[in-house]
Amino acid sequence: MQAFAYASPTSIQEAVALLSDRWGVADVLAGGTDLLSLLKDYIHTPQRVVNIKNIKELGGIRKTAAGLRIGATVTLAELLASSEVRAEYPSLIQAAQGVKSPQIRNMGTVGGDLCQRPRCWYFRQGFGLLAMKDGRSLVREGDNRYHAIFGNQGPACFVSASSFGPPLVALNARVKLVGPKGERELPVEKFFVIPQSESEREIALRPDEILTEILVPPATNVRNATYEVRQRETLDWPLVTASVALTMKGTAVASARIVLGHVAPIPWRATEAEKLLAGKGLTAAVIQKVAEAATTGATPLSKNAYKVQLVRVAVRRALEAARPKA
């Protein structure tokens, strides 16, 4: 790890003042579960590390008229213990339960989950976010078994590693970002971006901004669930996930949001599947068709076509989990 100066401010303004308008100068430290590994591997070599865990405003879960407000430094363990989250947002609970290590759940934060860097092994070995060498993609020509099957037509083939990205996009949540010029809000869907060049990042956060809170709309009439297909029961990222949020009208689905995880550089909306499900009841036949529609437009790489089948499985099981109990 390269040496750095450290600060532990107690206000958002102080913290923002310690950041830089260029990437690479300063890093924000919350749970540290991803950042410390990036530092140890020299993937990030900042001059300053700004610990935001002592900023009180960034903590806590609060129910408001506009929905649930989740502070960026709320840990996964705190989220799991929240009765408000449990009551209305099973998809968030299921996503948090997917992080199988209690140690990570005790340290890792919801904001950090959204800001974690991709797990692409070329990126983690220092070949850059897009892993290009002499104008050729190491991912396309190399081992891409865990890479993208959607949104991979540009130079980015990694998958978003976020556990909460898919359920938050499905629930139409927003994030609040605070920088030197004030604050702005973005739908989580717009927070994740597909970078087109090596100088870009996979999230819309600017280098001098801090993600301060997540705002989730009320979901009293929204059946929601997350299903993760994973290789093992212990700590690892899933292979494919599906999060669904279904606005119900009686027993039928009025409108649906179906979002896939670990299949694209961003949480991937399965819009064909969403359209197909609108206005229908959740019968086995409908679920089957919707799961098939979720694979529309998939462009697997040389070693990851298996993920197309996992998409069908994840969507079907997420819909079954979200279906009202008879």
Partner 1 sequence: MSTPKKPTEAKAKPGEGVSRRGFIRDVGLGTGAVGVALSPTAALCAPPALAGPGPVPVTLTVNGKQHKLELEPRVTLLDALRNYLDYTGAKRVCDRGTCGACTVLLDGKAVYACNILAIEAQGKNIQTVEGLALSPEPDPLIRAFVNNDGLQCGFCTPGFVMAAKAFLAENPNPTLDQIKRAFGGNLCRCGSYNGIRRAILEAAKSAQGGGKNA
Residues from 74 through 103 that contact partner 1 (CB under 8 A): 77, 100-103
Task: Residue 213: name the closest of 181, 192, 188, 242 by CA.
Answer: 188
CB closer to partner 1 out of 136 and 181: 181
Is 305 an interacting residue with respect to partner 1 (CB under 8 A)?
A: no
Out of 23, 37, 252, 271, point to the residue binding partner 1 (CB under 8 A): 37
Out of 12, 33, 148, 241, point to the residue binding partner 1 (CB under 8 A): 33
Is 231 an interacting residue with respect to partner 1 (CB under 8 A)?
A: no
Asked if residue 99 lies in contact with residue 108, where contact means CB atoms within 8 angstroms, the answer is yes
Contact segment (CB under 8 A) with partner 1 among 43-51, 127-135, 146-154, 156-164 equals 43-51
Q: What angle do CA 274, 278, 283 make, to 5 degrees?
A: 95
Supply the minimum distance, in Å, between the C-beta of residue 126 and partner 1. 12
Is 5 an interacting residue with respect to partner 1 (CB under 8 A)?
A: yes
Is 199 an interacting residue with respect to partner 1 (CB under 8 A)?
A: no
Query: What residue type is 154 in one-letter code?
Result: G
Supply the minimum distance, in Å, between the C-beta of residue 187 and partner 1. 30
Is 43 an interacting residue with respect to partner 1 (CB under 8 A)?
A: no
Is 308 an interacting residue with respect to partner 1 (CB under 8 A)?
A: no
Q: How many angstroms separate the CA atoms of 245 and 309, rounded?
A: 21
Contact segment (CB under 8 A) with partner 1 among 34-42, 264-272, 288-296, 311-319 equals 34-42
User: What residues line the site for partner 1 (CB under 8 A)?
Assistant: 1-9, 14, 17-18, 20, 29, 31-33, 36-37, 39-40, 42, 45, 47-49, 51, 53, 77, 100-104, 106-107, 233-235
